[in-house]
A and B are shown apart, each in its own frame.
Chain A
Amino acid sequence: MSKRFTTTTTTIGTGKRIRGGGDDEYEPTVDDEVMDDEVDYDEAAMEANMAAMAENGEASVDSTVKQRWGRPDVKPFDPNKEDINVQWLDMDMVSGPPLTANPKKGATVLGSSVGPVPVIRVFGCSDKGHSASIFIHGFTPYALFAAPKEFENTSSNLERLREYIDERLRNQVRDARNYKVFCHGVKFLDDRKSVMGYSTTHTQFFQVYCSMPSMVPPLKRIFSEGVKLPGMVETVSCQPFESNVPFVLRFMIDQEISGAGWLSLPAGAYSVRKESEKKTHCQLELDISYKEIISRESVGEWSKIAPLRVLSFDIECQGRKGYFPEAEKDPVIQIANCVSVYGTPDPVVKNVFTLKGCLPIVGTQVITSETEQELLLKWQQFLQAADVDIITGYNVQNFDIPYLLDRAEALSKVRPGPNMSPFKLWGRIKGSPAKMKDTTFQSAAFGKRNNVETTIEGRVVFDMLPYMQRNHKLSSYTLNSVCAEFLGQQKEDVHHSIISDLQNGNDEDRHRLAVYCVKDALLPQRLMDKLSVLINYVEMARVTGVPVSFLISRGQQIKVFSMILRKCRNEKLCVPDLPKGRNADGVAYEGATVLDPIKKYYEVPIATLDFASLYPSIMQAYNLCYTTLASPQDLANLSPEDYNKNPNGTFVKASKKKGILPTILSELLSARKQAKKDMKNAPNEFEKAVQNGRQLALKVSANSVYGFTGAAVGQLPCMAIASTVTNYGRQLLEKTKACVEETYTKANGYEFDSQVVYGDTDSVMVKFGNPMGPRVFELSEEAAEKCSKLFPHPILLEFEKVYYPYLLMNKKRYAGLLWTNVEKFDYMDCKGLETVRRDNCQLVRDVIQTSLNKILIDRDTKSAISYVKKQISDLLQNKMDISRLVITKSLNKGAEWALGLGGKAEDYKIKQAHVELAARMKKRDAGSAPQMGDRVPYVIIQGPKGAQTYTKAEDPIYVLDNNVPIDCQWYLSNQLTKPLTRIFEPVVNDVEKDLLKGDHTRKIFIATPTARKGSLMSFAVKKATCMGCKALIPKDSGNLCEHCVCKENEIYLDKLKNLRVAEEEYSQLWSAAQRIHGQMFQDVMCTGDGCACQFYRRKKVQQDIKRCQTALDMFAQ
């Protein structure tokens, strides 16, 4: 089902996210919201749920089935003798009573002894493959506040302050009656400093402990509003520090726990809960005091990955024709699942739950149900029995999961019927249902998007669709096309209009549907393996030190923030919690520089000199950091050798004080070097993938540091740093240009005068003038070295590639053959060309690609020109294959209005061709018309003069069937002209004259008006014409005129030739389509959107072959 909702879920780019929880970096300026996703303990509801479960026999999951693919059993062990190692994935916090005794014999209970206290819950998988939940006790939430210089640090003052804060919190906290104590203590710190600025006024702090993380925001408010400090007359407002750190992250940072890392529970320090005491479905449930848990650094043995269990699933629902499936009305008819264990090549179980009977599928368990309720409840039991760590699928986050939950809700209202409440128990906490939360994601680029976030305690939901959208630039994100791209696998799309028919059919029809459903469940899993998604995310979590869930649901910033906090903790620095949006009011700074391109077609090699990791290395070289930003006052106390002046900010040199950002960066980059080395020496593929994931994570993290400082609404923006980085970037680019152009001149004894033809952000394109050969590589190497010497360490200009030939069209638009060695070019590199966008028709893609091939690879501009001319003249003479003219766009938000399905008029202001067409097709035949979320293919046909384009869009099938003339001129001027001009401008003198106008455009096909109902042509009488020369011939005198009779054999051969061409194409296309879809006994039903089976060509060849056959049949046998 997922394919239909593709376009509604884009979450790429930087945007503003509004969430309930207040810990996100895009948070609006609301300070007093709950800080953490604290999980409510609604005891009453839980009890009820547990009772319901017992009623429905939750434990009655088929134990025989379980044996085969379940988790390994926990063998009895002695907690005093054995350590337990767990790779954790999910961490959250609940409130609960404090421990009565530390599980470690003789150790004291840490933290508050009066409840409720926060308990950290960690879910993961042990190295033996057991699911484990660890309850970590004793960690107390706190926040830091700048203490005024005047404050006298005495224990009585601190105790008075605690009492004062406790009292004020009591009045601020909403559920105050649940607590006896609010503030647990105030500590005075004078060994720390603020991270902001070279010298800072903030050098002493209050560390204020409170009962619950939810009390941190009120605490922050109290201190900002002003507090009366003991021994001081005035109320003072204290700057908060690190009060915006989510509690879980706070804990991780203080205990040096990295994301998705291994935690060891040493023998004797933990206790194991008995089966009867268990609150979760995990095999192991452990209690431990927070100081006892050991965090393993992810190196050596501990860089391994536990046998994590992954569930990939897909649902099918029976929608009504013309509508989106709605959980309120449309039943779920199938759920296919595939569970795999990390490190095991094949899935451990594949099954499908179907509504009504279904024939068996080999290799897959088929579980049928008579009612939908039964189906859902059986699936829930399966989910719990499978006890997976990760849940994946394609668009499950926004479709499958909410649909199932909503559907269960809708079904619970059906009476009489079974109790549906156990269905929602998906998580690992007994009696706690999965919870959905609507989130809205706003971005300039994509508008407002609604997302659903579902919390399934203890399991991580990892949707492959947003992952693909974030990490891969593709023309289409349907599961089908993504799999074709990465797995080389194609599946036939079952069009949703026939799902209903299949479901209503017999066991065999449902079997067919189930086979597709199983495949849809399997593919996301395959994709995940193929792209090493799991490894990459685990490594990213380890490198940046945030939980895996943060990587999925949050942006880049939290990662950098986590790294900064960790580093600051070691350096005894504190990070201020700045009011949000302080810098939002347009402190725009100049971004990356582009050197003006000298647009031309270069037939000499163009060397590309790249700065390696430019921005990170600038920050290192110039020691740009919060801690090194010198104020004007600072400058007075410093000698000029101690700092670098820059118009955007002055930073102290590393010799004086090394910044933390440069330290972080140099650590990241040297770690990356190590990872790359380890990757090369990796003993096996697994290890290699891990190291590759690691080096990628390190690279991405290093590059995101700059963005963090420049994000105006971020956690810790510092425009001085960001703008200084780009300023240095600009300087470096210009220095390089000057250095190259001054050095490599004839005057200096070189063969040619060099020229920098283009430069962008971190690369400079140099024309040395020499012909292709080793000399170019030598010169480039030399130039890179020479320029690098001008720059401070570690800024490095590298020579990597040569473009030859090189077609420079504009800023960020160029194409060239890329050479990394003298012998052979590597590939053709095109930047900024819309060759792959499906908004363009195939013709455009073909013409651009072929032109570039001819110009760059064949080095034959003439043939490129004649090719383009031929294409244009074919187009204008209507010889173009219609499949090459089809444009496809999907029906998105706003289209409902045009289609009369509701929606709002203001969402559809500008008429769009494909939407208008869909509306017209609906009138023609509502059943076969495209529906919301579908991609609508269309061609532009000839219309009345001056008609708007949107009125001229037509269904290609209709065009083929009715022989409707295409608006060739439109294709030339609206599709081809722009990209052609762009490419050929540097090559030919006058594109307009030489290419787009000229003899080849003289001959234009003019459609014979066809006799359509009501048109003038319906009155015309059609006369017989000679098959050879089109001359009119008398009726019933054969097919040839008297002059052509003697040439009958030739005319026959001519018609025969056409038929043979069509026959060959027909048989190839149709048998290939059967092969692509892997079925010979069933008709190919694919409508070919993004599919290799060439729907339009198949359709067209059917028409062609019919026409040719008719012509040949005219010859008397």
Chain B
Amino acid sequence: MTQPVTASRASAPFTPTWQKFKLTGKQYAQQYSHIYSKRLLAQGPMCLPRASKAFPQATAVPRIIELKESVRSIVVGTLVKESSNRVEVQGGLSEDAAIVLDNSDAMKVKAFKTMSDDKDKCVLEDDSGRLALKFLEKEDMFGYNYKVRDLVTGVVVAIVGVVDELGEMEVEAIFVGGIEQGDTGDRVKEEIEGMTKATVGDETSQQPPVVMLASGLQVGKSGGDMLPLQLLVDYISGSLCGGDAASLLGSGSGANVARVLIAGGATGSTFFTSGDLDEMDVKKAAEPIKVLDEYLSQICCNVEVDLMPGASDPVPLMLPQGSIHPCLLPKSGEWQSLNCTPNPYSARVGGAKFLGTSGQPLADMRRFTSSSQAVTMSDTSNDGAPVAITEMEALESTLNFRHLTPTGPDSLPTYPFQDQDPFVIGKNDVPHVLFAGGCEKFETKVVAGVRLVCVPDFDSTKEVVLVNLENFECEVVKFEVS
């Protein structure tokens, strides 16, 4: 007697927490000064105690203006980095400006060429004034001792040092918001319990639920290869089997995918990232979006989908980016399973906090930082010029800085918030999984209990990442057709 074959998809309770990234009634009469004030207000208290603890004998000065000469002090402020190589935008939109957020292949090289070098200068600013920083060549002392090259404009830091007679501070140590084990907090119990495993065949082959992280699908891209995309759908729907396909499956069968999270770059439309937007042909721009609409419908009929917009998607540019407008996705929008989310993304899946962006902040940070391994790792073509930090290093920095988009609004288009800085990773916001889309390659790492995931660009790697919701282990699935 044969048992009836049961096949059921894994599931996980889902609670969106992205409300603060959904904006209505946008105003533009205010300037960018408020967001910096609010950021300092929120993050100062994160940095200061860490500095005071490490340097108990130093005097904590509430504001820059109250610093005194020749006294070892701790002062909190926002860092401003002045790169001599920085391409200033004179006359508004220069060519370089257009590449800031670009993910497309052609622009990648340019975009990730760092403007940082050892001659960069840093100043600290708060609402009372500015302070020039002087870095001494000292080895790490306490905590995170950052070097100029590690830092970007917009990071809130506590600085320990002494002001000299010229009014510059000789920096002894720098403390950022930082992260510690346990900061993530516990997962929501009921939601963990609410997860179900996938059953394919018998009870013994139950598989724990996973979240599929994908990015840069570029559906409908002209000249794009639809086959890997189709394989992806087949994988999710479970219709992929036999032959070569077996090697693709990895440990799962597709049925364990409880959610698909698309971290930006779903549309293959290149209109928003290249060329003169003024000359954009709307008819042509609409085509790939229609293809995406069809494509998403195929996935949505199988599984819950979170669709985050990215730099190249048809949404406004400034972060946070709102969700893709329903009028662009008339078909897939019919499915209840499609969630058009903002970018950044914030939600609880299976009781675990997921936080992430479509990758713009990493790309932007990499333009202003350089790797400490510049010399050893530089390839021959680089002539010893500074090398940008890796995407993983950048992602880790955002966690340590406790800020999703530190370089906004300085070099990253950001909405001029007035009452808050929603990008601060506050006490209760430290996620279990922090991800960024649009990366060159897959990388993962655990820092102080936080799982960091660089989600590879599907269009160039044909890879997606599966995050196990029980232990956050990651696995890559590649859809390459040889």
Residues of A that sit less than 8 Å from B by CB: 346, 359-364, 508, 511, 515, 1048-1054, 1056-1057, 1059-1061, 1063-1072, 1074-1075, 1078-1084, 1092, 1094, 1097, 1102, 1105-1106, 1109, 1112, 1115, 1117
Contact = CB atoms under 8 A, between A and B. Distances in A.
Given A362-B131, A1049-B327, A1054-B282, A1067 B26 contact: no
Chain A interface main SS type: helix
Nearest to B327: A1048
Interface of B: 26-29, 31-33, 36-37, 40, 65-69, 78, 80, 88-93, 97-98, 125-131, 163, 165-168, 271-272, 277-278, 280, 282-283, 285-286, 289-290, 314-318, 325-328, 330, 409-414, 416
A708 to B, nearest CB: 45
Contacts, number: 152
A1083 B33 contact: yes
A1081 B93 contact: no
User: 5 shortest A-B CB distances, which residue pairs?
Assistant: A363-B167, A362-B167, A1067-B413, A1081-B127, A1063-B317
A954 B97 CA distance: 33
Contact of A1060 (B31, B165, B272, B282): B272
Contact of A1080 (B33, B280, B318): B33
A362 B318 contact: no
Given A1075-B410, A1080-B33, A1056 B315 contact: yes
Given A1067-B318, A1081-B33, A1052 B409 contact: no
Contacts of B65: 359-360, 508, 511
A722 to B, nearest CB: 48
Given A360-B65, A1053-B286, A1109-B26, A1080 B278 contact: no
Contacts of B128: 359, 508, 511
Nearest to B276: A1061
Contact of B126 (A346, A1050, A1081): A1081
A887 to B, nearest CB: 19
B29 A1080 contact: no
21 contacts: A346-B166, A360-B66, A361-B129, A362-B131, A362-B167, A363-B165, A508-B65, A1051-B282, A1054-B282, A1056-B315, A1057-B280, A1060-B277, A1064-B413, A1067-B414, A1069-B89, A1070-B32, A1070-B409, A1075-B88, A1080-B410, A1081-B36, A1117-B326
B93 A1068 contact: yes
B316 A1068 contact: no
Contacts of B283: 1050
Given A364-B167, A1060-B272, A1070-B31, A1049 B130 contact: no
A1060 B275 CA distance: 13
B31 A1083 contact: yes
Contacts of B88: 1072, 1075
B127 A1056 contact: no
A1060 B316 contact: yes
A1056 B267 CA distance: 15
Nearest to B416: A1070
B92 A1068 contact: yes
Given A1060-B316, A1067-B413, A1092 B90 contact: yes
A191 to B, nearest CB: 63
Contacts of A1080: 32-33, 36, 78, 80, 125, 410
Given A1049-B330, A1079-B125, A1115-B327, 7 more contacts: A511-B129, A1049-B290, A1049-B327, A1053-B314, A1071-B410, A1080-B410, A1083-B33
Nearest to B318: A1063
Contacts of A1067: 317-318, 409, 412-414
A362 B69 contact: yes
Given A1050-B282, A1083-B31, A1056 B318 contact: no
B282 A1082 contact: no
B331 to A, nearest CB: 11
A360 B32 CA distance: 27
B316 A1102 contact: no
Contacts of B126: 1081
A1057 B69 CA distance: 52
B174 to A, nearest CB: 18
Contacts of A508: 65, 128
A1109 B163 contact: no
B411 A1071 contact: yes
A782 B182 CA distance: 86
Given A1057-B282, A1070-B31, A1081-B37, A1052 B316 contact: no
B129 A1057 contact: no
A288 to B, nearest CB: 41
Q: In the complex, which of the residues A1059, A1080, A1092, A1105 has the most CB atoms of chain B within 10 Å of its own CB atom?
A: A1080
Contact of B93 (A1065, A1078, A1109): A1065
A1050 B286 contact: yes
B82 to A, nearest CB: 8
A1054 B277 CA distance: 10
Contact of B28 (A359, A1052, A1102): A1102
Given A1061-B278, A1067-B318, A1082-B127, A1102 B29 contact: yes
A1057 B277 contact: yes
A1094 B32 CA distance: 16
Contact of A1056 (B316, B409, B413): B316
Nearest to B330: A1049
B92 A1069 contact: yes
Contacts of B280: 1053, 1057
Contact of B317 (A1048, A1060, A1094): A1060
Contacts of B413: 1063-1064, 1066-1068
A1071 B32 contact: yes
Contacts of A1072: 88-89
A759 to B, nearest CB: 39
